[in-house]
Amino acid sequence: MDYGDKLFWLSVLIQRKYAQIFAEFDMTPSQATLLCAVRNDSRHGTRHCR
């Protein structure tokens, strides 16, 4: 398995885990993405939702 194949399967694994998480919390993919964006932004000093 070469480097490109490994990257491909890693992306598949990440996408599956991401899908499991937002399904578990009954969120749409857009809601999950927004949540991550807000959470990541709050680590840099702004406090949007706490």
Secondary structure (3-state) at 10: helix
Domain limits for position 29: 3-46
In this prediction, residue 33 carries a pLDDT of: 81
**4-50 per-position pLDDT tens digit:** 999 999 999 998 988 888 889 898 888 888 887 887 775 554 444 44
pLDDT beyond 50 at 2: yes
What is the DSSP secondary structure assignment for residue 18, as one 8-state letter? H
Pair 50, 44: CB distance under 8 Å: no
Question: What total number of domains does the chain contain?
Answer: 1
Place of tokens 């919390």: 25
In this prediction, residue 35 carries a pLDDT of: 81
Token digits of residue 28 = 């749409």
In this prediction, residue 42 carries a pLDDT of: 59
End-to-end distance of the chain based on CA atoms, in angstroms?
Answer: 44
In this prediction, residue 9 carries a pLDDT of: 96
